[in-house]
């Protein structure tokens, strides 16, 4: 954690302390294993999280496949959009020709995703597929332009390529950029190949611009700052690619993983439902290029050292938008599910098959002969059954019957629907047990009270049922849907219940993960960004702290035999404890959601109670202002602080704070 600074919390000595709470922590008897997958990430292309976000491509509509072929582009001079290009699944391209007078210009200009930002002394890789259809040679002048500049020259940096011959070829050139600039466009001029030569008609397809400095330096790469922020969470599992986009508004727009692999030029465009889902936040230029597709997702999992958890369509399109009575039109009939099940089988082969298998070969041909070692697979996102219609579970059963037989080594994840309680949840939860899914995915975007009252939620769960995957959750403050500290504190409080119940809670992922400040549809979100920078929210730091101090095994922590979960008489305290074998430490997490500081007597019990500790680290996330949030302008307002102390069983947890006590042996 880069921003962790050493700080003596001097103010604590002058704090008024309300009560002393004795927490008994049994250090002799370790409890359940805390799964390595416990704290993970979930990425969906919402809020321009993938295209225009993590995926570092800077050109929007690079293949001219948006329904309006020139959306995001300004074309000038003599141009034509044609549809007999070299890439079968993306057939459109642009033809540039002589505008008829030497003083006139032909070309195209791309606005990027909310503009194009470039950084000082960084290089950018321009590439394009091109040809001169009538033969000959031409030049394409490439400029990064500032249309609003008061300087003489709009061009801020540039390069050029020479296109030659009738065959389509990929051309690449590096732009060596000297100054940091935002809100630029990428302008391409058709020029004569040589001084005095005439203009030669030129076709352009798949126009692309990437920083050379991507995450791991990959050409079809990810934004380094955002990928680094994800990596710094030390996620244990990575759920992708959604969310609602898995289901689609209709079957046609569902996410089909096979469309997202192979050469990027030939990955067919899909709409992104978040372009229109909320009419009050409408983004008509939001599409999925699939440049960040399943291969790239698996690579990221490998980079982050975490398990991959792909989610596939179960044959139901979004149930919020499609009435089940229209089954024939909008959902796949039960008898027609085979291709969907085959997609799941093929995905397992793509991830785990060796290079001699059909889909393993596709992966190997993409540059990854080694298997990805897939262990988890989600079937369906937020689906549900009706009282008189097993819309979801009938489909899920068909998948499980085949998948479990052919791939018993994989853990399968069902869902309890969009709600954390209520009719849909009550119908589905017992059915997940009957169907013997390995885990079920619960979603809860809830307000402050829900989180504060939910401290013992998992203590009450059936221990013999499937394990829990809290796959989407966040505290949505009443009337305050932003990433203020208070929301993150209540998430931290609730998460002590994940840890205490690690015997049945095996995975958790906050949602959504990413949001562009100019293109969001849903908030709060874990990481916000613009084209230049990203900011880690308070909730990010909570997730990061849980990930970093995950521990290996639960230790029982009680106050008067009760779990510390914001219960009566506990003054808004939530706590959990674990043992970290690598650190050789006992770790106690405490969220004080109350208005007063509380004194804690951490009473280690059991045979090994006379433990000798060498040092005590106290990590605190706190701010006096509950509404404070980290912003792109002010990213470090609330960050974790580290204090080193002589080991002492008596500690003080300040009001409205999250603290982690690491007792190192
Ligand atoms: O995270 C945003 C959306 O919330 C997801 O797409 C969906 O699963 C849930 O309704």
pLDDT at 481: 82
Check which CATH number belongs to the domain holding 311 and give it: 3.20.20.80
Do the domain assignments include residue 139? yes
Ligand 1 pocket mutation pick from 41, 274, 445 by most atoms within 8 angstroms of CB: 445
* pLDDT above 70 coverage of the chain, percent: 97
Same domain, 470 and 591: no
pLDDT above 60 (res 303)? yes
Cα(433)–Cα(462) distance, rounded to whole angstroms?
A: 10
Ligand 1 pocket mutation pick from 44, 442, 509 by most atoms within 8 angstroms of CB: 44
Same domain, 187 and 246: no
Same domain, 573 and 427: no
Q: Considering only CA atoms, which of 607, 611, 568 is closest in space to residue 588?
A: 611
pLDDT single digits (tens) 579-588: 999 999 999 9
Q: Of 486, 517, 548, which one is at a domain's C-terminal end?
A: 548
pLDDT above 80 (res 323)? no
Task: Give the CA distances from residue 42 to residues 348, 443, 555, 596, in Å, rounded to whole numbers and listed in that order.
Answer: 20, 12, 28, 35
Same domain, 207 and 219: no
Do the domain assignments include residue 479? yes
Same domain, 373 and 469: yes
Q: Which residues of 513-530 are buried (b: 16+ CB within 10 A; e: fewer)?
A: bbbbbebbbbbbbbbbbb
Question: Predicted confidence band at 4 (pLDDT cuts at 50, 70, 90)?
Answer: very low
Residue of minimum CA distance from atom 6 in ligand 1: 243
Q: Is 378 in the pocket of ligand 1 (CB under 6 A)?
A: no
Same domain, 259 and 398: yes
Q: Is 300 in the pocket of ligand 1 (CB under 6 A)?
A: no
30: which 2 tokens?
């370790």
Same domain, 202 and 168: yes
> Are 50 and 113 contacting, i.e. CB atoms less than 8 angstroms apart?
no
Same domain, 127 and 221: no
Q: Is 46 in the pocket of ligand 1 (CB under 6 A)?
A: yes
Q: How many domains does the chain have?
A: 3
Cα(190)–Cα(195) distance, rounded to whole angstroms?
A: 13
Question: Predicted confidence band at 553 (pLDDT cuts at 50, 70, 90)?
Answer: very high
Atom of ligand 1 nearest to the CA of 242: 6
Instruction: Give me ligand 1 centre to Cα 70, in Å.
Output: 30
Question: Predicted confidence band at 2 (pLDDT cuts at 50, 70, 90)?
Answer: very low
Question: Predicted confidence band at 328 (pLDDT cuts at 50, 70, 90)?
Answer: low
Q: Considering only CA atoms, which of 259, 260, 287 is closest in space to residue 273?
A: 287
Same domain, 91 and 23: no
Mean pLDDT of the chain: 95
Do the domain assignments include residue 145? yes
Q: Of 179, 211, 243, which one is at a domain's C-terminal end?
A: 211
Check which CATH number belongs to the domain holding 205 and give it: 2.60.120.260
Q: Is 515 in the pocket of ligand 1 (CB under 6 A)?
A: no
pLDDT at 1: 33
Q: Which listed residue (382, 472, 491, 629) is catalytic?
A: 382
pLDDT at 167: 98
Atom of ligand 1 nearest to the CA of 44: 6
Q: Is 472 in the pocket of ligand 1 (CB under 6 A)?
A: yes
Q: Is pLDDT larger for residue 17 or for residue 530? A: 530
Residue of minimum CA distance from atom 5 in ligand 1: 243
Do the domain assignments include residue 374? yes
Does residue 382 carry a catalytic annotation? yes
Query: Strand, helix or coil at 101?
Result: coil
pLDDT above 50 (res 8)? no
pTM greater than 0.85 (yes/no) = yes
364: which 2 tokens?
């190997």
Cα(659)–Cα(391) distance, rounded to whole angstroms?
A: 44
Q: Is 566 in the pocket of ligand 1 (CB under 6 A)?
A: no
Same domain, 324 and 276: yes
Please report the beta strands in 212-283, taking only residues with DSSP state E, as ranges in sequence order: 237-240, 270-271
Atom of ligand 1 nearest to the CA of 522: 2
Ligand 1 pocket mutation pick from 42, 43, 46, 471 by most atoms within 8 angstroms of CB: 46
Show contacts of 644-648: CB within 8 Å, 24+ apart. Answer: 644/6, 644/615, 644/616, 644/617, 644/618, 645/615, 645/616, 645/617, 645/618, 646/615, 646/616, 647/613, 647/614, 647/615, 647/616, 648/616
pLDDT single digits (tens) 244-266: 999 999 999 999 999 999 999 99
What's the start-to-end Cα distance of the chain, in Å?
22
Same domain, 394 and 443: yes
CA atoms within 13 A on the CB side of 529: 30
Q: By residue range, what is the domain housing residue 462?
A: 39-56+215-548
Do the domain assignments include residue 115? yes
Q: Is 417 in the pocket of ligand 1 (CB under 6 A)?
A: no
Q: Is 455 in the pocket of ligand 1 (CB under 6 A)?
A: no
User: Hunting for tokens 């390995």 — which residue is that?
Assistant: 438
Any idea which of 136-140, 415-419, 479-483 has the lowest mean pLDDT?
479-483
Check which CATH number belongs to the domain holding 583 and give it: 2.60.40.1180
Same domain, 206 and 222: no
pLDDT above 70 (res 538)? yes
Q: Of 548, 573, 601, which one is at a domain's C-terminal end?
A: 548
Q: Is 591 in the pocket of ligand 1 (CB under 6 A)?
A: no
- Residue 645's contacts (CB-CB under 8 Å, 6 or more residues apart) are 615, 616, 617, 618
Cα(483)–Cα(535) distance, rounded to whole angstroms?
A: 11
pLDDT single digits (tens) 613-656: 999 999 999 999 999 999 999 999 999 999 999 999 999 999 99
Question: Predicted confidence band at 5 (pLDDT cuts at 50, 70, 90)?
Answer: very low
């Amino acid at each position: 954690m880069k921003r962790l600074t050493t700080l003596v919390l001097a103010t604590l000595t002058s704090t008024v302390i309300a009560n002393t709470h004795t927490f008994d922590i049994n250090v002799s008897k370790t409890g359940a294993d805390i799964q390595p997958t416990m704290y993970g990430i979930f990425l969906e292309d919402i809020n321009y999280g993938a295209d225009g976000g993590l995926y570092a491509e800077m050109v929007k509509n690079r293949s001219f496949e948006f329904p309006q072929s020139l959306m995001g582009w300004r074309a000038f001079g003599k141009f034509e959009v044609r549809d007999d290009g070299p890439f079968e699944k993306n057939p459109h391209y642009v033809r540039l020709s002589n505008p008829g007078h030497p003083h006139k210009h032909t070309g195209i200009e791309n606005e990027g995703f909310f503009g194009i930002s470039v950084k000082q002394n960084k290089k950018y890789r321009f590439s394009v597929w091109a040809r001169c259809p009538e033969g000959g040679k031409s030049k394409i002048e490439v400029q990064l332009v500032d249309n609003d500049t008061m300087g003489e020259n709009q061009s801020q940096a540039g390069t050029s390529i020479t296109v030659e011959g009738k065959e389509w070829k990929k051309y690449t050139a590096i732009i060596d950029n000297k100054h940091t600039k935002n809100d630029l466009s990428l302008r391409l001029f058709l020029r004569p190949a040589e001084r005095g030569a005439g203009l030669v008609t030129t076709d352009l397809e798949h126009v692309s611009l990437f920083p050379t400095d991507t995450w791991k330096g990959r050409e079809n790469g990810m934004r380094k700052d955002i990928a680094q922020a994800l990596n710094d969470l030390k996620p244990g599992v990575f759920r992708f690619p959604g969310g609602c986009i898995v289901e689609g508004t209709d079957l046609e727009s569902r996410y089909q993983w096979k469309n997202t692999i192979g050469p990027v030029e030939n990955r067919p465009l899909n709409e992104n439902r978040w372009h229109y889902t909320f009419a009050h936040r409408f983004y008509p230029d939001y599409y999925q290029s699939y440049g960040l597709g399943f291969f790239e997702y698996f690579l990221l999992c490998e980079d982050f050292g975490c398990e991959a958890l792909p989610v596939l369509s179960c044959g139901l399109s979004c149930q919020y938008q499609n009435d089940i009575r229209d089954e024939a039109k909008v959902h796949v009939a039960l008898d027609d599910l085979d291709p969907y099940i085959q997609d799941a089988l093929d995905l397992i082969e793509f991830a785990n098959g060796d290079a001699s298998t059909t889909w393993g070969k596709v992966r190997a041909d993409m540059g990854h002969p080694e298997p990805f070692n897939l262990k988890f697979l989600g079937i369906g996102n937020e689906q549900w059954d009706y009282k008189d219609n097993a819309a979801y579970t009938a489909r899920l059963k068909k998948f499980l019957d085949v998948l479990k037989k052919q791939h018993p080594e994989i853990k399968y994840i069902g869902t309890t629907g969009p709600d954390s309680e209520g009719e849909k949840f009550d119908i589905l939860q017992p059915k997940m047990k009957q169907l013997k899914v390995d885990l079920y995915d619960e979603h809860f975007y809830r307000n402050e009270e829900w989180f504060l009252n939910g401290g013992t939620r998992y203590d009450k769960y059936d221990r013999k049922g499937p394990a829990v995957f809290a796959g989407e959750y966040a505290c949505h403050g009443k009337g305050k849907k932003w990433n203020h500290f208070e929301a993150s504190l209540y998430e931290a409080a609730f998460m002590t219940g994940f840890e205490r119940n690690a015997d049945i809670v095996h995975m958790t992922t906050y949602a959504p993960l990413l949001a562009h400040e100019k293109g969001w549809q849903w908030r709060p979100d874990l990481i916000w960004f613009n084209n230049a920078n990203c900011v880690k929210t308070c909730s990010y730091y909570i997730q990061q702290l849980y990930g970093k101090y995950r521990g290996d095994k639960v230790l029982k922590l009680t106050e008067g035999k009760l779990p510390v979960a914001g219960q009566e008489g506990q003054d808004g305290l939530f706590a959990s404890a674990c043992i970290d074998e690598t650190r050789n430490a006992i770790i106690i997490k405490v969220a004080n959601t109350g208005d007063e500081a509380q004194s804690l007597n951490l009473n280690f019990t059991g045979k090994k109670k006379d433990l000798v500790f060498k040092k005590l680290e106290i990590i605190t996330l706190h701010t006096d202002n509950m509404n404070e949030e980290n912003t792109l302008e002010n990213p470090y307002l609330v960050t974790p602080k580290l204090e080193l102390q002589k080991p002492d069983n008596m500690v003080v947890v300040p009001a409205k704070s999250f603290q982690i006590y690491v007792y190192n042996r």
